[in-house]
Amino acid sequence: MVAQWIACRTLNLMIVSVLNLVSKDNDELQREEQRKTRDVDMYLNRPQICRLPLKTLSSLCVSFSGCGFLGSYHFGAVDCLLKNGQHIISRLDRTSGASAGSLVASLLLLAPQHSKRACKVLFELGDELSTLRFGALTPGYCLNEKLIKIVDTFLPIDISPAQGRLFISLTKQKERTNYMVSRYSSREHLIQCLLASCYIPLYSSGYAGEAPVVDGFSCFDGGYTNNLPDFEDIRTITISPFSGFAEISPLDENYFDWKMTVSNQIMNVNLQNIVRGAQALFPPSLDVIENYYELGFKDTFRFLMKNDILQREEGTAV
C-alpha cells in the first residue's frame, strides 16, 4: 500500500509539474504575442519611414519624451547608446525632446561627454526635492533657478551644431498650441527655449512666476501639446520611461491592452504609468531614481539587440 501511495503521489506531482510548465509556456506565448501586436500597432500609428529597417538608413533622429525627474531613464538610454549604439550615434542627424527630454536631447547633441556628470546632478536635485515636504511646491523654492544653473553649466559656448538639428517642443501659453524651435539666435536663446520647455506653471517658480518668453511668445511645458516629437522626414527613435508605443520604453505586463494618447504620445493605461506620472513631478528616493537609469540602459540594450545594431564604441560588434 505504501508503495502504491508513493507511486500515485509521484505521478500526481509529475502531472502538476507538466501542467505548470505548459501554463508557463502559454503565459510566455501570450506575452510574446502581445509584444508582436504592440510592435505592429506602434508602427502603424507612426510615419511610414519608421517601418524601414534601421540598418538601411544613413540619417537618424532620437526623440526623448517629457518625464520630469524620470529623466534618469533617458540618461541610462543615452549612456547605452554611447557605449553600445555607435550605429545610431554615427548616423545621428537630429535630436528632439519635450520638457526634461529636451535637456537630454541637447546634451546628447552638444555635450555627450558630460552625460554622466549631468545625470549625477539630476540625482542630487531629485534627492534634494524628495527631502522637502512639498517638493518643488515648497514655499520659497524655485526649480527654474536650479535648472538655469544646470543648463548653463553643461551647454558649450559654441551651439552651432544645434542649428536645424535640435528640435525643442514648446507650448504657446495664449493659444495652447505647439511651437517647435530648431533655430537659435544665441546661446541665451537656446537656454530660454530649454527652460520654457520644462516650465510648469506654479510648479517651476511658484505662484508669482511668469512663463519664459521665446520669440515674443510666453511659452511653457512642451509636453502639454507634444510630449514625444516624431517626424515625417527622418527615421525617429522614440524614448520614454512611460510604457506604451515608444520604441525604447519599459515592457509592462498588462492584464488589459488599454492605450490612451496623451499629448501626442500613446501610453499604456496601467498602475505602473500612474505611479510614474506621480514620480515625474514628486521624485521618489534616490534608489528608485537610480533604478530608472538602469532600466533605461537595459531597455535600450534590448532595442539594439532586437534591431541587430549592437555595436561598441571601438567599432567591434558585441
Pick the catalytic residue: 221, 240, 249, 299?
221
Q: How far apart are CA 282 and CA 77, in angstroms?
A: 22
> 96 an active-site residue?
no
Over 80: is that where the pLDDT of 262 sits?
yes
- Reduced to 3 states (helix: H, G, I; strand: E, B; else coil), residue 277 is helix
Window from 20-24, 114-118, 264-268 with minimum mean pLDDT: 20-24
Over 70: is that where the pLDDT of 25 sits?
no
> 215 an active-site residue?
no
Q: For the residues 100-122, what does the mean pLDDT come to? A: 94
pLDDT at 46: 82
Within the chain, where are the H helices? Answer: 2-44, 71-84, 86-89, 100-110, 115-130, 143-154, 187-198, 271-281, 286-306
Over 60: is that where the pLDDT of 96 sits?
yes
Nearest Cα to 64, choosing from 91, 90, 88, 96? 96
State the pLDDT confidence band at 39, using cuts at 50, 70 and 90.
low
State the pLDDT confidence band at 166, using cuts at 50, 70 and 90.
very high
pLDDT at 296: 98
Integer CA distances (angstroms), 268 to 37, 42, 114, 137, 252, in order: 14, 12, 32, 28, 9
pLDDT at 93: 98
Q: For the residues 233-237, what does the mean pLDDT come to? A: 96
Over 50: is that where the pLDDT of 10 sits?
no
pLDDT at 37: 52
**Average pLDDT in the chain:** 85
181 bridge partner residues: 168
pLDDT at 255: 64
pLDDT at 312: 74
Pick the catalytic residue: 63, 65, 72, 99?
99
Cell of 98: 519635450
pLDDT at 89: 96
pLDDT at 315: 54
Q: For the residues 272-282, what does the mean pLDDT come to? A: 92
Per residue in 145-158, pLDDT tens? 888 888 889 999 99
Structural domain boundaries of the chain? 45-306
Over 60: is that where the pLDDT of 235 sits?
yes
Share of the chain above pLDDT 90, in %: 58
pLDDT at 137: 81
State the pLDDT confidence band at 26, using cuts at 50, 70 and 90.
low
Cell of 2: 505504501
Per residue in 178-225, pLDDT tens? 999 999 999 999 999 999 999 998 888 776 678 999 999 999 999 999
pLDDT at 173: 95
